[in-house]
């Protein structure tokens, strides 16, 4: 299907709009160290990116047989808010891309409602999006298609006419399962130092690492300036 048929562009937030994954991973690594578990940043990137925090915490408990306290998520989120306020940035060039976008746009993220609201407010990106959808609104988060299907249904756009921009493999699988066109953005700092083989994008999914390439790939999506 040609890009001229796209009516809605659905953006993930962390690692796509916000260059936040390195901060999030570092805070998680430090929090786990406090509870006696040593994991690497690479382990976090490979195993947890794109998933909701409750799912991540459950996976850590199972994989490492670690009895994390009930307060772990609250403490992690509080620390993350501090770190975001001190050093969160948008991905390079995303604002210029959004200003030129000639299609409807929304956000669909595994982040909590509070976190994504804080992120978009800090970066002053809220005006670019009609709605923000979070994993808290569906029974199954990414890699299930539920979140993307909710966004399309709520905004009255058929999945065939949606383009998803994701960075994580969980998000890519979710978009494919929803029957949507999906591109992978690999320009976030958390991809630095990884080879194409390391990134391991599934076959057939277009990949780009610079927002200036977005309209080279789909000039039809750019509004008349």
Residues marked active site are found at: 12, 14
Q: Are 45 and 25 in contact (CB under 8 A)?
A: yes
Is residue 165 helix, strand or coil? strand
Q: Are 112 and 134 in contact (CB under 8 A)?
A: yes
Six token digits for residue 121: 């407010």
List Cα–Cα distances, 135 to 35, 132, 145, in angstroms: 27, 10, 11
Bridge partner residues of 181 (DSSP): 163
Residues 130, 107: Cα–Cα separation, whole Å: 8
The values of phi and psi at residue 16, to 5°, are -115, -60
Six token digits for residue 188: 């976030």
Specify the length of the chain in residues: 225
Residues 59, 56: Cα–Cα separation, whole Å: 5
3-state helix, strand, coil in the chain (%, to 5): 50, 15, 35
């Amino acid at each position: 299907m040609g890009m001229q048929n796209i009516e809605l562009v659905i953006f993930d937030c962390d690692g796509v709009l916000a260059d936040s994954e390195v901060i999030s991973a570092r805070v998680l690594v430090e929090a786990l160290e406090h509870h006696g578990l040593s994991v690497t940043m690479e382990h976090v990137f490979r195993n947890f990116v794109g998933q909701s925090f409750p799912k991540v915490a459950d996976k850590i408990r199972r994989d490492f047989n670690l009895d994390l306290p009930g307060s772990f998520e609250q403490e992690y989120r509080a620390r993350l808010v501090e770190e975001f306020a001190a050093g969160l940035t948008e991905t390079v060039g995303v604002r210029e891309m959004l200003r030129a976008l000639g299609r409807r746009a929304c956000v669909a993220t595994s982040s909590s409602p509070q976190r994504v609201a804080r992120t978009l407010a800090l970066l002053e990106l809220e005006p670019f999006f009609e709605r923000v959808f979070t994993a808290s609104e569906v029974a199954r988060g990414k890699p299930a298609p539920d979140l993307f299907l909710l966004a399309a249904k709520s905004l009255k756009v058929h999945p065939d006419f949606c383009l998803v921009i994701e960075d994580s493999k969980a998000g890519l699988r979710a978009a494919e399962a929803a029957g949507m066109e999906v591109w992978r953005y690999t320009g976030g700092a958390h991809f630095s130092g990884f080879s194409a083989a390391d990134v391991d994008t599934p076959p057939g999914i277009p990949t780009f690492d610079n927002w200036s390439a977005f309209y080279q790939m789909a000039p039809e999506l750019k509004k008349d300036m």
